């Protein structure tokens, strides 16, 4: 049985910010569970990771709105809250899907911490926007009172930015492995994992950061000795010269070719580039491994080699 780490993009969790109720999120996740059920039924041993950008952003907005009534929670705590919320919906939806197919497997979501290096250069240059938009006056107050890094965002207002450090170690990795051995479908490193730093005496402290979920999924796939990393997103294949007359979809590429495409600037830093970087890193980490970047609704076809972009050495 091939072990496959699935990294779910935002389209697998909600349709739009305009309809962001718990009920609508669960409805979208139930649809996603159908696609995952197809893969499990075909015999793949799945471990599931997911993003959390819109969800943690809304939790931060709730913090701001209610700050005069109840203390606001720090970013790492908000990340853990989003892991629990999304994980609950996913384990319920996937569990229901498997039962409807007569598949006797449990589903467990795990609140997961991921160690980052406190000396990571990302902390000196925060770039990841999170939370609500602020007026200039509010932004200056938060910068002074809380030490937030705030930037102007495309004329829409001001937003807090935080670091996006490299994931180094998954704290609960042994628990993930134990759950896999117990025949569980495991949901882990949600939102890239809760970023923590290790102190001199070995204790862990939450960090005000956001870990890219594709890079965290790659770290997970390596550590689990997975056969395939599947990064599911909103497009069927990676494209070069995107949006230009000579746009071309890539159905298969070597690591060297993908590195060249990235060096030529084909992939935007905030969207496709992290996926390509994760794909390259996993594919070259050990002989025989491959990464597939594909759309959620073509996941089964992608694993059959009929869709998606396959990256191998």
Which residues are marked as active site?
10-11, 128, 213, 275
Strand pairing class (184-187; 45-50) = parallel
For residue 286, give the nearest of 253, 256, 312 by alpha carbon.
312
Burial class (CB in 10 A: 0-12, 13-18, 19+), 90: buried
What tokens does 90 get? 């996913």
- Tokens representing 1 are 């049985």
Length of the chain: 313
Alpha helices in the chain (DSSP H): 22-41, 53-65, 75-100, 136-146, 173-181, 213-223, 255-263, 272-283, 299-303
Contact assessment for residue 212 and residue 275, using Cβ atoms and an 8 Å cutoff: no
Max Cα separation, the chain? 58
| CA-based nearest residue to 266, from 279, 249, 290 | 249
Element (H, E) at 47: strand 45-50
241: left (phi over 0), alpha (psi -120 to 50) or beta: left
Residue 114, beta-bridge partner list? 170, 195
**Is the Cα torsion angle 89, 92, 95, 97 positive or negative in sign?**
negative
Q: Is the dihedral of CA 118, 72, 192, 16 positive or negative?
A: negative
């Amino acid at each position: 049985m091939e072990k496959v780490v699935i990294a779910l993009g935002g389209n697998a969790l909600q349709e739009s910010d305009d309809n962001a109720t718990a009920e609508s999120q669960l409805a979208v996740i139930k649809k996603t569970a159908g696609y995952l059920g197809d893969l499990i039924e075909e015999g793949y041993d799945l471990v599931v990771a997911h993003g959390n950008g819109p969800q943690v952003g809304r939790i931060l907005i709730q913090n701001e709105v209610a700050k005069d009534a109840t203390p606001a929670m720090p970013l790492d705590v908000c990340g853990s809250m989003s892991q629990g919320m999304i994980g609950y919906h996913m384990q319920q939806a996937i569990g229901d899907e498997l039962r409807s197919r007569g598949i006797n497997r449990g589903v467990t979501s795990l609140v997961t911490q991921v160690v980052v290096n406190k000396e990571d250069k990302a902390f000196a240059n925060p770039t990841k926007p999170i939370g609500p938009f602020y007026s200039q006056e509010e932004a200056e107050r938060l910068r002074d009172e809380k030490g937030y890094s705030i930037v102007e965002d495309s004329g829409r207002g001001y937003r807090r930015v935080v670091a996006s450090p490299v994931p180094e170690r998954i704290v609960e990795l042994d628990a993930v492995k134990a759950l896999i051995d117990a025949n569980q479908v495991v949901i882990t490193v949600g939102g890239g994992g809760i970023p923590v730093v290790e102190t001199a005496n070995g204790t862990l402290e939450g960090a005000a950061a956001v870990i890219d979920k594709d890079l965290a999924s790659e770290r997970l796939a390596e550590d689990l000795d997975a056969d395939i990393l599947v990064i599911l997103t909103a497009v069927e294949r990676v494209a070069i010269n995107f949006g230009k007359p000579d746009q071309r979809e890539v159905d298969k590429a070597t690591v060297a070719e993908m590195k060249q495409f990235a060096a030529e600037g084909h992939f935007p830093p905030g969207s496709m580039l992290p996926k390509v970087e994760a794909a390259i890193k996993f594919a070259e980490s050990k002989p025989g491994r491959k990464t597939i970047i594909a759309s959620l609704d073509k996941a089964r076809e992608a694993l059959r080699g009929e869709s998606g972009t396959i990256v191998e050495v």
